[in-house]
Structure 1
């Protein structure tokens, strides 16, 4: 069913596209929420995804990977939104020193990783993608995914254990 919808959506059937988005809605929302950490921004990201998908669905080459394509577009949207948020935070709070008296939550710790490592962690452990699927999504060899994940997990252990990099 997913494949048929994907083919119809790629061919320009907007109703099929909306059904496809509805089918993947929970997974996409969880991804956006994991990146952006609040409901309002996650919903905004999903709205932007809908818009971009309507404009670019015809560029999908392989209907089998429509879910992966949607996640990649959504992650790019989330990363763009995070950059804008960080810029705003810097503009308003650059003179205020930050204190970390309270214990950081896991999402906060993951947020301290470089963006490419955050993305791998979210794809692997929040989206339950296999290394091969991540390799396809990121367009890198599977061995590279494994080594980068290993490096990211090692850095996470350091952050959790000592609270520093």
Structure 2
């Protein structure tokens, strides 16, 4: 069944359709949460909270074609709220293990530099490069023109380069 048809059914109250949609996008949600929160347990909790929030608010979705971007936007907002509550980032052994064996020093530098960026920059980079969302869709999510998104993306990349240079990183973005 096509995604849009599932979304329409879910909006009308079909729980099976909603669960099928969540199953379809659970990896995207998890990757988004993990890239923001950097903790497996917190990412899983974020998935639960966002799933509940989406279930509660699905009737507010205006266009079924943007279900994925709507869902990711809920996740980003939740993660930003959690980060504001913490105001502090601690890298611990559990987080390092959750990054996987293939994680190398350069990737850790990149993730660390991303956390030093402002919310909007981190949001745009996460959507574009971690979730492969098109600029047109990012513009829809952020409710601004595509040109503005391109400008913000350019500034975010420049800021990320500066953060990496400050840290002595050898990664070029």
Q: Report the TM-score when normalising by structure 2.
A: 0.82
What CA distance in whole angstroms lies between the structure 2 residues aligned with 1:126 and 1:87? 23
SS in 2 for 1:105: helix
> What is the aligned partner in structure 2 of residue 31 from structure 1?
32
Partner of 1:7: 8
Q: Supply the distance in 2 between the matched residues of 1:87 and 1:159 (Cα, whole angstroms).
A: 17
Q: Which residue does 2:57 correspond to in 1?
A: 56
1:163 CA drift (Å): 3.2
Distance 2:45 2:85 in 1: 13
C-alpha deviations, 1:45-66, integer Å up to 9, x for none? 0000111011100000100110
- The farther-off stretch of 72-81 and 155-164 is 155-164
Aligned partner of 2:122 in structure 1 is 118
RMSD: 1.9
2:85 aligns with 84
In the alignment, is residue 158 of structure 1 matched against residue 162 of structure 2? Answer: yes
Residue 162 of structure 1 deviates from its aligned partner by: 2.8
Q: Cα offset for 1:88?
A: 9.9
Moved over 3 A (4+): none
The match for 1:127 is 131
- In the alignment, does 2:146 pair up with 1:138? no
| Structure 1, 59-68 or 7-16: larger mean CA deviation | 7-16
- CA-CA distance at 1:112 after TM superposition: 0.5
Q: Is the Cα–Cα contact under 8 Å of residues 7 and 67 in structure 2 kept in the other structure?
A: yes
Change (3 A) 1:61 1:15: same
Note the alpha carbon deviations across 1:78-120, whole angstroms, 9 max, x for none.
Answer: 111111122798xxxxxxxxxxxx9862111011011111101
Q: 1 CA distance for matches of 2:122 and 2:35?
A: 10
Q: Is the 8 A contact 2:109 2:164 kept in 1?
A: no
Task: Give the secondary structure class of the aligned counterpart of 2:87.
Answer: helix
5+ unaligned residues in a row in structure 2: which ranges?
A: 91-104, 169-173
Q: Is the alpha carbon distance of 1:87 and 1:153 closer, same or farther for their aligned partners in structure 2, counting shifts above 3 Å?
A: closer
How many residue pairs get aligned? The number is: 152
Query: Deviation per CA, 1:3-23, whole angstroms, max 9, x where unpaired?
Result: 111110111111211111011
